[in-house]
Amino acid sequence: MRVGHRRKPALITDVKVENPGLNLTYPKVSGLKHKSAESGINRYIKKEVHRLLKEEGYGTEKEKKFNGGYTVKLNKRGTLSIIIEIFSYVKGGEKGTTIRKTINVSLKDARVYYLHDLFSRRIRKSKYIGVLNEIIKSQIKSREIKTTEEFNTISINQDYYLTEHSLVIYFQMFEFTPFEYGFPEFEIDFQDIADIINSKGPIGRLLKDKENSNETADE
């Protein structure tokens, strides 16, 4: 059986920034067919890194030190999902602060994918949010996660990233869990939400890859 065209993954290289009080590595994308998308993605990544640094006080709080890095979670089927983390601290202070931002973008046109882009447009936002909330609540109970306050709901612009097989919803530190949980993550297998996903979106394309996995060994 003939398999449709599959977009090649992006080439990811490190951009290292070393300034007084700053040691940072963030990703640069190359090798894309559409160069406008390539430049758009790189502008977006750089803008988000600068925004995070500014929010944490870089350039204004001279006593703070900053370290940062990234992890690629998905680079396949036209979608890039990358976690960027920045750690800031004051020398001699008790604890620092870590914040996390995920870059979820299209390798075709640099479109940023928000949570609602993953789900069918035929359903209301309240439906997919409700489904995700119930899965998260179930995992909190089954994993016996300690909470500082009751979990109620995710937000419309909830933080997430994608892997080849799952949607991972995560929360910032201290949102509703103690320090030892770091960034609490809730992994949701695509098959558990297959009936409400956008078939033409990132998850839909990855599910098609699964269906065709026995038809080709080229990927």
| C-alpha span between 96 and 65 (Å, rounded) | 9
Q: What is the pLDDT of residue 211?
A: 66
The average pLDDT across 190-206 equals 95
Between residues 118 and 95, the one the model is more confident about: 118
Between residues 129 and 95, the one the model is more confident about: 129
| C-alpha span between 177 and 139 (Å, rounded) | 14
Q: What is the pLDDT of residue 213?
A: 54
**Structure tokens, 29:** 């994308």
Q: Is the pLDDT of residue 93 over 90?
A: no
Task: Tell me which H or E stretch contains 24.
Answer: strand 22-30
pTM, entire model: 0.90
| C-alpha span between 178 and 146 (Å, rounded) | 7
Residue whose token pair is 């390539």: 38
| C-alpha span between 32 and 191 (Å, rounded) | 30
Which positions ≥6 away from 109 have C-beta within 8 Å?
34, 36, 37, 40
10 Å CB burial of residue 173 (0-12, 13-18, 19+) is middle
Q: Measuring CA to CA, how many Å separate 3 from each of 31, 97, 156, 203, 208?
A: 23, 47, 35, 18, 10
Q: What is the pLDDT of residue 38?
A: 97
Q: Give me the percent of the chain exceeding a pLDDT of 70.
A: 92
Q: Is the pLDDT of residue 217 over 70?
A: no
| C-alpha span between 154 and 216 (Å, rounded) | 38
Which of 3-17, 61-75, 141-155, 198-212 is the least confident region? 3-17
Kindly report, residue by residue over 128-173, the tens digit of the pLDDT.
Answer: 999 999 999 999 999 999 999 999 999 999 999 999 999 999 999 9
Q: What is the pLDDT of residue 96?
A: 87
